[in-house]
Chains A and B, each alone.
Chain A
Amino acid sequence: MALKASELKVGDTYTERLVEDLKRTQVVMYAGASGDYNPVHTDELFTTKVAGYPGVFAHGMLTMGMTGMMLTNYVGDGRLTEFGVRFTNQVFPGDTLDSTATVTAINEGLVDIEVSTINQEGVEVAKGSAQARIDD
């Protein structure tokens, strides 16, 4: 299901809950699937005693991956032409994330989208933009 230019306007938004009460096990699943076994994501002992963080935290790419799920649910499968984010704050187990796409421009069969993912305190954890092909 792709978006249609005729049904879109600048300022349109789409929001999705990405995860509620992020579990450590999901972070472990992401480590296993992506191959990024950096112990700061799964190894509490290393992370607190050696790396100096209060506890393990999610891969930035897990947040981006979940944000990408919101985008593909909005724009349709195989429609993205660009997607980028800046990781503005860390995501910890227990966090609940919501992500919003906002239409910023529509032209020539493409839609430009601003992307923002926030945690349960309203703090932005990922911020970026995307572009996708749309139908007429």
Chain B
Amino acid sequence: MAVGKFPIEASHIMMFARSIGDDNQIYYDEDYAKGGETGGIIAPPTFVQASAQFDPDYGLRPKIGGDGWFGSGGKPTGVKPREDSAGSTGDAGGGGGLHAEQRYIYHRHPKVGDVLTATNKPGKSWEKEGKRSGKLVFSESITEYRDQDGELVVTAIGTGVRTERPVDQG
């Protein structure tokens, strides 16, 4: 995803760490974190995924006053999934899209106070016949997170997959 400004904030890290069930004090307690080799609160390894919060066009978040949302309201779905709600970001999939693979290269770990920017470019794309879900179309997306000095912090390589039908649970 492309993001102009992704501020690394302590309360966001706290909420993210809670959500993955991680009680490591490095994510909660500034005084504790200061005493260790990181010198302060750092982000958990998969935290940059939360840059979606700072992408104004992120398709997997209902838009305020927008065109509707494909999740349920009075009916099982509001609207058809938008084209940009899956796959194209390579992140998480939407309607028929799923997240197949994710890889991170850490040049360093983001820390509270950093303001990152993210630029995105498409990677490889390929097809495969799947036993449980028909034809699979994979597409890779490479996101570079840079800090306020333009230095590369994290490289994220996401692979999304679109399936012909929902994955059989057999």
Contact = CB atoms under 8 A, between A and B. Distances in A.
Interface string A22-50: 00001001101111111100010110011
Interface size class of B (residues with CB under 8 A): 35 or more
Given A68-B44, A86-B101, A61 B49 contact: yes
Contacts of A26: 19, 21
A114 B112 CA distance: 29
Contact of B76 (A49, A66, A77): A49
Contacts, number: 158
A52 to B, nearest CB: 4
Contacts of A84: 101-104, 157
A64 B52 CA distance: 16
A82 B103 contact: yes
A68 B45 contact: yes
B70 A82 contact: no
Interface size class of A (residues with CB under 8 A): 35 or more
Contact of B37 (A61, A64, A78): A78
Which of A46, A54, A59 lies at the interface centre, i.e. has the most chain B CB atoms within 10 A of its CB? A46
A85 interface: yes
A123 B92 CA distance: 22
Interface string B1-38: 00000000000100110111110101000000000111
A108 to B, nearest CB: 17
A76 B38 CA distance: 10
Interface string B131-170: 0000000000000000000000000010000000111010
A59 B92 CA distance: 8
A127 B18 CA distance: 23
Contact of A51 (B42, B104, B106, B166): B166
A71 B45 contact: yes
Nearest to B111: A78
Nearest to A65: B20
B71 interface: yes
A68 B20 contact: yes
A114 to B, nearest CB: 14
Given A50-B77, A52-B165, A68-B45, A60 B71 contact: no
Given A33-B15, A37-B60, A85-B102, A77 B70 contact: no
Contacts of B24: 69, 72-73, 77
